[in-house]
Structure 1
Amino acid sequence: MKPVRSLARVMLSGIFVVSGARNLRNPERLVQAAEPVTGKVAPLIQNVHPRIPTDTVSLIRANAATQLVGGLMFATGRFTRPAALVLAATLIPTTAAGHAFWNNDDPAARNNNQIHFLKNLGLLGGLLLAAADTEGKPGLRWRAGHRIDHSRRSVKRAVRTARREAKIAVRSAATARRMPG
């Protein structure tokens, strides 16, 4: 199954690597579409840290760089689950800014944006599946529960052993007292 996962990761990450590189080089072409979203996000970012640049071009570049790096990490199998989550997070503002079909009056533009919106929704679903995929290995929750169960069994065994040895010691002491010395 590993080759299938590897191929699927490369295929899924391709759009992020290509569009991330393209948008990093030329963010100006997206400014008009992105401004409604960045206008809402910028005050939130300023509240978190006032030194972070919140102009539209900087936010587009940050999103693009994140998609490029996240896409490369995902494609190469490095930190795939966190990379998938990061890519999913970058897809939300990208989709809201670039494919707001509900704002289109032109039926052709509305249809085109609706198709791209649904495509991005499918990508988001694939990324969420990839983020949940443990590649056949037990997840952290299972491993923690398994470790706890193993520890409980070990403690129970130790208690049984201690009781058994205490009984043996009591019998030995009783036998030693009864024996004439």
Structure 2
Amino acid sequence: MSLLRVLGRPMLASMFVTGGLDSWRRPQNVAPIAEPVVQPVTERVPVLPDRTEDAVRLSGAVQLVGGLLLATGRLSRPAALAIAVTLVPTTLAAHRFWEEEDPDQKTQQRIHFLKNLSMLGGLLIAADDTGSAPSLLWRSRHAAHDLRRDAHLVRHSVRAGAGPAALAGRVRATLSR
């Protein structure tokens, strides 16, 4: 694993470990802010908890566990993707700069919104990072290519061997008469 991955993953994960721990331990602190986003999401996704505090606690747990996995390099691709899924509603709930009327608050919320958008980009890159190992898609494409090549070689060798074998069979049949 490269030095950039060893250093970068924990740096990216640090915000989610601390924020996730806080949301998991004290969901009541952010539940009022999360309410406008959580309720429409929980109505459309029946597996999510109905209570806003429970949904915030679940999101915090996903961010905490995902952050720890990302930081340690264990299952970092699915962990980054799971964190990314929780970051979208978190950002939409907490940083609604378009609703702010105070220019200073609007600027601050826009900065936080763009910061979260940047972290989302980093998470998507981390979710796609194979760590210099070939991805499953690459492996499957090359396995299919290798199978096609092998089938082509078998077909040519069968054709090449069939002609002399047929001739030998005819000569043998003629000689046995």
TM bucket by the smaller chain?
over 0.9
1:176 matched to which residue of 2? 172
Distance 1:170 1:120 in 2: 72
Aligned-pair CA distance for 1:180: 7.2
Distance 2:166 2:34 in 1: 81
Please give the secondary structure, in 1, of the residue aligned with 2:30: helix
Matches within 5 A, 1:136-175: 136-175=132-171
> Is residue 122 of structure 2 the alignment partner of residue 134 of structure 1?
no
Code of the aligned partner of 1:22: D
Number of residue-to-residue matches in the alignment: 177
Distance 2:160 2:109 in 1: 74
**What is the CA deviation profile of residues 45-103 of structure 1, one whole-angstrom value per residue up to 9, with x for unaligned ones?**
3xx34xx5311111110100010011111111111111111111110011011111111
C-alpha RMSD of the superposition: 1.6
Aligned-pair CA distance for 1:154: 0.8
Distance 1:180 1:27 in 2: 93
> Is residue 33 of structure 2 the alignment partner of residue 43 of structure 1?
no
Return the TM-score normalized by structure 1: 0.91
> Is residue 13 of structure 2 the alignment partner of residue 13 of structure 1?
yes
Code of the aligned partner of 1:121: L
Distance 1:2 1:143 in 2: 22
Matches within 5 A, 1:71-110: 71-110=67-106
Return the TM-score normalized by structure 2: 0.93
Distance 2:73 2:62 in 1: 16
2:55 matched to which residue of 1? 59
Please give the secondary structure, in 1, of the residue aligned with 2:15: helix
- Mark the runs of 5 or more structure 1 residues left unpaired by the alignment: none
Structure 1 stretches of 4+ with a deviation exceeding 6 A read none
Distance 1:74 1:180 in 2: 76
Aligned-pair CA distance for 1:26: 1.1
Code of the aligned partner of 1:155: A
Please give the secondary structure, in 2, of the residue aligned with 1:122: helix
Distance 1:152 1:42 in 2: 47
Please give the secondary structure, in 2, of the residue aligned with 1:134: coil
Aligned-pair CA distance for 1:175: 2.8
Distance 1:40 1:180 in 2: 87
